[in-house]
């Protein structure tokens, strides 16, 4: 459990789990549309096939991002069990509560996040 007394660990945990459930739900509906593309391809002409392939590439990119986001959330849930939650992974400073409330999976303080974005 985090040793910061301004953080409501229970609230953070339920927020993270809610995000995780939403991502998993979306994954299931994405999977359906990917399967449909594969089934239809045999009947399609060349141009439609290119369309279908682009659609598939986009679906794969969405899927990749979803996995990265899921990993962030799982990692945040694990940190919630330790006293590391709420502290910047780079400099060890406290991450602003507002920042955590916006995205509990965030791992860097604002200063380090800005440096990383440069
Ligand atoms: Zn930092």
* pLDDT tens per residue, range 9-18: 999 999 999 9
Sign of CA dihedral 89, 92, 93, 96: positive
Distance 53 CA to ligand 1 centre (A): 41
The token pair that represents 55 in the structure block = 């659609």
Q: Where are the domains of the chain?
A: 9-117
Residue 109 has pLDDT above 70, yes or no: yes
- The predicted model scores a pTM of 0.77
End-to-end CA distance of the chain: 32
Question: Ligand 1 being an ion, which residues bring their Cβ within 5 A of it?
Answer: 88, 90-91, 93, 109, 112
Please state the CATH superfamily assignment of the domain spanning residues 9-117 in this structure. Answer: DksA, coiled-coil domain (1.20.120.910)
pLDDT of residue 68: 95
Tens-place pLDDT, residues 30-64: 666 656 656 555 566 777 888 888 999 999 999 99
Tell me the CA–centroid distance for residue 85 and ligand 1, in Å.
13
């Amino acid at each position: 459990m985090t040793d910061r007394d301004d953080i409501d660990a229970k609230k953070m945990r339920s927020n993270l789990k809610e995000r995780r459930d939403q991502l998993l739900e979306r994954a299931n509906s994405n999977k359906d549309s990917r399967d449909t593309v594969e089934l239809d391809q045999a009947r399609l002409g060349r141009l439609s096939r290119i369309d279908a392939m682009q659609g598939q590439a986009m679906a794969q990119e969405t899927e990749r991002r979803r996995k990265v986001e899921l990993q962030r959330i799982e990692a945040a849930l694990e940190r919630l069990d330790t006293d590391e939650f709420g502290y910047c992974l780079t400099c060890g400073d406290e991450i602003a509560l507002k920042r955590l409330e916006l995205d509990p999976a965030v791992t860097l303080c604002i200063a380090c996040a800005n440096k990383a974005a440069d």
